Amino acid sequence: MRVLLLGCAPILCPALAGCAPSAQPPRVAHRAEPSHGPDASPKEPLDWAAFDARTFERAKRERRFIVLDGSAEWCHWCHVMESTTYHDANVASVLARHFIAAKVDVDARPDIEERYRAWGWPATVIFSPDGEELGKYRGYLAPGEFADLLAAVVAAGPNAARAGSADAERPTSDTPLGAETLALAARWAEVELEEYWDPKEGGWGVEPKVPIHENTEFALKRAARGDARLREHALTVLEKQRNIIDPVWGGIYQYSVAPDWVHPHFEKLMEFNAGALADYATAYTLTKDERWLRSARDIDRYLRAFMISPEGGFHGTQDADLNAHDRGKRFMDGHDYFRLGDRERRALGIPRVDPNEYAEDGGLAIAAYVTLYEATGDKSALAIAKRASARVATTHAGPRGGITHGIEAEPPRLLHLADQAAFGHALARLHDVEPDATTLAAAKRVADFVMAELYDPNQGGFYTHTKDPDAVGVFQRRRKPFSENMLMLRFLVELRGKLQGTAPEAAYAKAIDKSLRYWTDPERIKDAGRFIGDYLSLVDEISSPPRK
Q: What pLDDT is recorded for position 29?
A: 43
Whether 10 shows a pLDDT value over 70: the answer reads: no
Q: Which amino acid is at 541?
A: E
Q: What pLDDT is recorded for position 507?
A: 92
Q: What pLDDT is recorded for position 502?
A: 85
Q: What pLDDT is recorded for position 543?
A: 81
Whether 114 shows a pLDDT value over 70: the answer reads: yes
C-alpha 11, offset from chain centre: 21
Q: What pLDDT is recorded for position 161?
A: 55
Full 3-state SS string of 44-93: CCCCCECCCHHHHHHHHHHCCEEEEEEECCCCHHHHHHHHHCCCCHHHHH
pLDDT tens, position by position, 279-292: 999 999 999 999 99
Q: What pLDDT is recorded for position 175?
A: 65
pLDDT band at 33 (very low <50, low <70, confident <90, very high): very low
pLDDT tens, position by position, 356-376: 999 999 999 999 999 999 999
Q: What pLDDT is recorded for position 177?
A: 66
Average pLDDT over residues 412-429: 97
Listed in sequence order, the residues at least 6 apart from 7 whose beta carbon sits closer than 8 Å to its beta carbon are 207
pLDDT band at 6 (very low <50, low <70, confident <90, very high): very low
What ranges in 135-268 are assigned the alpha helix state H?
143-156, 179-195, 213-224, 228-240
Whether 110 shows a pLDDT value over 90: the answer reads: yes
- What value does the mean pLDDT of the chain take? 88
pLDDT tens, position by position, 293-348: 999 999 999 999 999 999 999 999 999 999 988 878 899 999 999 999 999 999 99
Element (H, E) at 1: none
Q: What pLDDT is recorded for position 189?
A: 86
Q: What pLDDT is recorded for position 366?
A: 98
Q: Of 402-406, 506-510, 527-531, where does mean pLDDT reach its minimum?
A: 527-531
pLDDT tens, position by position, 52-102: 999 999 999 999 999 999 999 899 899 899 989 999 999 999 999 999 999
Q: What pLDDT is recorded for position 173?
A: 60
Percent of the chain at pLDDT > 90 equals 75
pLDDT tens, position by position, 244-269: 999 999 999 999 999 999 999 999 99
Average pLDDT over residues 11-37: 38
**Torsion 28-34-36-38 (CA) sign:** negative
C-alpha 98, offset from chain centre: 33
C-alpha 334, offset from chain centre: 22
Listed in sequence order, the residues at least 6 apart from 380 whose beta carbon sits closer than 8 Å to its beta carbon are none
Whether 535 shows a pLDDT value over 70: the answer reads: yes
